[in-house]
Amino acid sequence: MISIAIDGPSGAGKSSIARRVAARLGYVYVDTGALYRAIALFAHRSGIADTDEKALAPRLGEIEVELAYQEGKQHVFLGGEDVSEEIRRPEMSMAASQVSAQPAVRAFLLELQRQMADKYNVIMDGRDIGTVVLPKADLKIYLTASAEDRALRRHQEFLKRGEDISYDEVLTDINRRDYNDIHREIAPLCRAKDAVLLDTTGNTLEQSVALVEQTIREQLGL
């Protein structure tokens, strides 16, 4: 099986790009952020604060989280319920970042992510795919863009979905999440030594998709 790891900060376009490139290559696209978001939603629904590791860790065994694919689109199920929409709410972003700093949560999700890469040719995106989850990935890409560019894209996505949130709020959230994701003790966001660095600042989505697809084809000789 071939695995391609794409890591990078929030809003760099990883999901939108990786989903399209995976479809073109016939690979399964695995959005690992959705798994952390599902855990955050579980905590939220159980009345557990997203920083309360002591309360969440013993409950992890109860969580049934699954990924399924319908028409090439990833759906996330929590206890059999499709929560793909709900985990995209703005408050779930920060909550996911908080729960993702907990070692027990990361250990809980590690096997699930590796199993996906054992079963399918994957493009897997996240923060620690090239460094921790799939250190032997066939290709690692670190995808980034300026914080302002990333905030602008996220803000447009929220507006499209009818969320009432300002650009400044989104930028503040992106900066806080970057800080959290980079500074956490376990599996922090960082570029693997052998990752190809791609910067999408100023690119249209189509340009970024072409850049990533071309990089993959060149590097893997596809």
Residues that bind ligand DC (CB under 6 A): 10, 32-33, 36-37, 93, 96-97, 100, 126-129, 177, 181
From the CB of 218, what's the least distance to ligand DC, in Å? Answer: 25
Question: Which lies closer to ligand DC via its Cβ, residue 25 or residue 33?
Answer: 33
CA dist 148 and 130 (Å) reads: 25
CB of 69 to ligand DC, least distance (A): 17
Which residues on adjacent β-strands are paired with residue 142? Answer: 7, 197
Closest contact distance (angstroms) between CB of 70 and ligand DC is 19
- Pick the closer one to ligand DC by CB: 36 or 42: 36
In the structure encoding, which two tokens stand for residue 51, read together?
A: 């920083």
In whole angstroms, the minimum distance from the beta carbon of 221 to ligand DC comes to 27
User: Smallest Cα–Cα separation from 116: which of 70, 66, 80?
Assistant: 66
Minimum separation from the CB atom of position 128 to ligand DC (A)? 5
Cβ atoms within 10 Å, residue 46: 12
Smaller CB distance to ligand DC: residue 17 or 33? 33
Q: Which is nearer to ligand DC, 26 or 105 (CB)?
A: 105
Question: What angle separates helix 167-183 from helix 147-160, to the nearest 10 degrees?
Answer: 120
Q: Are strands 196-199 and 28-31 parallel, antiparallel or unpaired?
A: unpaired
Residue closer to ligand DC by CB (options 128, 149) is 128
38 and 87 Cβ atoms separated by less than 8 Å:
yes
